[in-house]
Structure 1
Amino acid sequence: MLSIETIEQTLQSELAVALYFSAPTCNVCHALKPKLLSAFEENFPQLQVISIDISETPEIASHFSVFTIPTLLVYLDGKEFLRKSRHMSVGEVVQEIKRPYDMMTS
């Protein structure tokens, strides 16, 4: 079971983590997720992605101050680096993460 503690431990122990907040009723979430996952796999092999269904765990969304879906939070070296909500392009997300990620992993 996903918990705030588990996520916080992952954020501290992994170099790069993405939290993807969505819900079963969100069509945009379902259209965006496979594109993001594919781009992350291709560009950021060490990035761990955690999907969070806010309808099942609203306390996690609240803990991370997520009030709209889809929301993507990217953590690099334990610190929040990127926060995107609603309208985001996959290319834009990749472009914003690429340089710091490459510097950390090279």
Structure 2
Amino acid sequence: MTLQELIQTTPVVLVDFFAEWCGPCHTLKPILQTVKQHVGDAVKIVKVDVDKYREVAAEYQIRSMPTLLLFKNGELVWRHSGVVGAQDLVRIIEQHK
């Protein structure tokens, strides 16, 4: 399944565009684990390595890492570049669920 198919068929998807060499991306990893514990299966969290999937990163105009995109019913409803705290991210997701 492609990312586009996942976004179109899953009600709420959070996409984390990251790179292995990106320090802030490593900071975000445990934050996303905490968020997953709070939101459970209501949200699908997907990580996309920009070095492995350059075309996908280009399609979504990813210029810095980490960049988070939140999709609801196939529509982009929130976008942020940089690290976001777990509580803030849970609140944002809850607003769009």
Instruction: Give the TM-score taking structure 2 as reference length.
Output: 0.88
Partner SS state of residue 73, structure 1: strand
Where structure 2 has 5 or more consecutive residues not aligned to the other structure, the ranges are: none
Q: Kindly tell me the number of residue pairs found equivalent between the two proteins.
A: 97
Q: 1:86 to 1:16 in 2, by over 3 A?
A: same
The residue identity in structure 1 corresponding to 2:91 is Q
Matches within 5 A, 1:30-49: 30-49=26-45
**Structure 1: 5+ residue runs without aligned partners?**
102-106
- State the identity as a percent: 25
Question: What secondary structure, in the 3-state scheme, does the structure 1 residue paired with 2:65 have?
Answer: coil
Q: Check if 1:83 corresponds to 2:71.
A: no
CA RMSD in angstroms, aligned pairs only: 1.5
Aligned position for 2:17: 21
Cα-to-partner distance string for 1:22-62 (whole Å, 9 max, x where unaligned): 11101110121221232133224221111111111111111
Separation (CA, whole Å) in 2 of partners of 1:27 and 1:92: 20
Indicate the structure (1 or 2) with the bigger Cα radius of gyration.
1
**8 Å contact from structure 2 (residues 31, 85) kept in 1:** no
Cα distance between partner residues in 2 of 1:42 and 1:88? 15
Moved more, 88-97 or 56-65: 88-97
Supply the AA of the counterpart residue of 2:31: K
Higher relative contact order (CA 8 A, sep 6+): 2
Match of 2:69 in 1: 73
Match of 1:50 in 2: 46
The AA in structure 1 aligned to 2:58 is S
